[in-house]
C-alpha cells in the first residue's frame, strides 16, 4: 500500500496499464533514463525489472524514503525546478520521462526544453498544455512553449488519457507527448531564444513590432523577413530564431 496522493504537490498517479506499456515500449532497455516524480512507481518498477539504468527526482519525502531503499536507483531527493540541472549533469541521461505535476508543468517544460538529449523525452501533461506544446504556428494554442521545445526537439502528441487513467482522477484530461531530438544546428542559443520568446509573447494581443518597440526598427523587421504587424503566435520557429539571433547581437 503506497502513500496517498498529495494535492499540494499536484500528484495524480498513472495507473493505466496500456499507457504504461506504450510509454515503456518507446524506451530502449539500456538507455540511461531520468524519471521525474515517480511517486509509487508505475513506470519505475517496470524499468527496474528490466534493468534500466535509472535515476529519479522525487520531492515527496514519503516516496523518496521508499526509493532510497533501492540501491540500483540514483535518487535525487528535492524539488525538480531546483535540482534538474544538477541531476542531468550528474547522471547524463539519454532519456527523460515523467508524469509532470500539473502545477509546475509550464516552467518545468521551459527548463526541460533547453536540455539536449540523445534519446528524447516522454512526458505526461494536462491535455491543454500538451496541445500547446505540439501546436503549429498560427494556431490558437501556439505559444512560447511551442517555440522553445522546437529548439532541440520535434514534439508529437502520442495519445490522450481520460481522468480515470490516474489515481486520484484529475478534473481534466491528460496527454502524453514525445519529444524527439532533431540534432539540427541552431543559429542562436537556447537562452537567446528564451529571452526573445519571453519578450515577444509578453502581450499576445499586440503586434510583434509593438512588443519590441524601441528595440527593433522597421528596417530590421524587413531584414528579418518578419511582418511587423504579425501577432507573436504567427511566427514559426525559424522566424523566432532569426529574431533571437538579432537580439543577441544587439547585446
Domain that holds residue 220: 190-250
Q: Are residues 91 and 175 in the same domain?
A: yes
Q: Are residues 223 and 134 in the same domain?
A: no
| Within-domain flag for 98 | yes
pLDDT score, position 170: 86
Q: How many domains does the chain have?
A: 2
Q: Are residues 119 and 82 in the same domain?
A: yes
Cis amide bond preceding 40, omega within 30: no
pLDDT score, position 13: 84
Residues 157 and 178: their CA atoms lie apart, in Å, by 6
| Within-domain flag for 2 | no
Q: Are residues 171 and 104 in the same domain?
A: yes
- Residue 121 near residue 95 (C-beta atoms within 8 A): yes
Q: DSSP secondary-structure letter at 182?
A: -
CATH number at residue 235: 1.10.8.100
pTM of the model: 0.94
Residue 141's pLDDT band (cuts 50, 70, 90): very high
| Within-domain flag for 234 | yes
Residue 44's pLDDT band (cuts 50, 70, 90): very high
Q: What is the pLDDT of residues 47-104, one digit of tens each?
A: 999 999 999 999 999 999 999 999 999 999 999 999 999 999 999 999 999 999 888 9
| Within-domain flag for 1 | no
Convert 147-179 into a string of H (helix), E (strand) and C (coil): HHHCCCEEEEEEEEECHHHEECCCCCCEEEEEE
Residue 2 pLDDT > 70, yes or no?
no
Domain limit, last residue, from 150, 181, 212: 181
Q: What is the pLDDT of residues 157-185, one digit of tens each?
A: 999 999 999 988 889 999 999 999 999 99
Q: What is the pLDDT of residues 235-248, one digit of tens each?
A: 999 999 999 999 99
Residue 221 pLDDT > 60, yes or no?
yes
| Within-domain flag for 203 | yes
- By CB atoms closer than 10 A (0-12, 13-18, 19+), residue 158 is middle
CATH number at residue 150: 3.40.50.150
Mean pLDDT (the chain, rounded): 94
Q: Are residues 30 and 135 in the same domain?
A: yes
pLDDT score, position 120: 98
pLDDT score, position 8: 60
Q: Are residues 94 and 169 in the same domain?
A: yes
Q: Are residues 30 and 154 in the same domain?
A: yes
Q: Are residues 136 and 230 in the same domain?
A: no
Residue 1 pLDDT > 60, yes or no?
no
Amino acid at each position: 500500500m503506497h502513500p496517498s496522493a498529495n494535492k499540494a504537490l499536484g500528484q495524480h498517479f498513472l495507473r493505466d496499464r496500456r499507457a504504461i506499456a506504450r510509454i515503456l515500449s518507446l524506451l530502449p532497455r539500456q538507455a540511461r533514463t531520468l524519471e521525474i516524480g515517480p511517486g509509487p512507481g508505475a513506470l519505475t518498477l517496470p524499468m527496474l525489472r528490466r534493468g534500466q539504468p535509472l535515476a529519479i527526482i522525487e520531492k515527496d519525502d514519503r516516496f523518496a524514503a521508499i526509493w532510497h531503499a533501492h540501491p540500483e536507483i540514483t535518487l535525487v531527493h528535492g524539488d525538480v525546478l531546483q535540482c534538474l540541472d544538477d541531476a542531468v549533469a550528474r547522471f547524463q541521461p539519454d532519456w527523460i520521462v515523467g508524469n509532470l505535476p500539473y502545477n509546475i508543468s509550464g516552467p518545468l517544460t521551459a527548463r526541460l526544453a533547453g536540455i539536449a538529449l540523445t534519446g528524447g523525452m516522454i512526458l505526461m501533461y494536462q491535455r491543454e498544455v500538451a496541445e500547446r506544446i505540439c501546436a503549429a504556428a498560427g494556431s490558437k494554442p501556439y505559444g512560447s512553449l511551442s517555440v522553445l521545445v522546437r529548439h532541440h526537439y520535434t514534439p508529437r502528441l502520442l495519445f490522450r488519457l481520460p481522468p480515470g487513467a490516474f489515481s486520484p482522477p484529475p478534473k481534466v484530461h491528460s496527454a502524453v507527448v514525445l519529444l524527439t531530438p532533431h540534432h539540427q544546428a541552431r543559429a542562436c542559443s537556447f537562452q537567446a531564444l528564451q529571452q526573445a520568446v519571453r519578450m515577444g509573447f509578453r502581450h499576445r494581443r499586440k503586434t510583434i513590432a509593438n512588443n519590441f518597440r524601441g528595440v527593433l526598427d522597421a528596417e530590421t523587421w524587413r531584414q528579418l523577413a518578419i511582418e511587423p504587424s504579425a501577432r507573436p503566435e504567427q511566427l514559426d520557429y525559424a522566424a523566432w530564431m532569426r529574431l533571437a539571433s538579432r537580439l543577441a547581437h544587439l547585446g
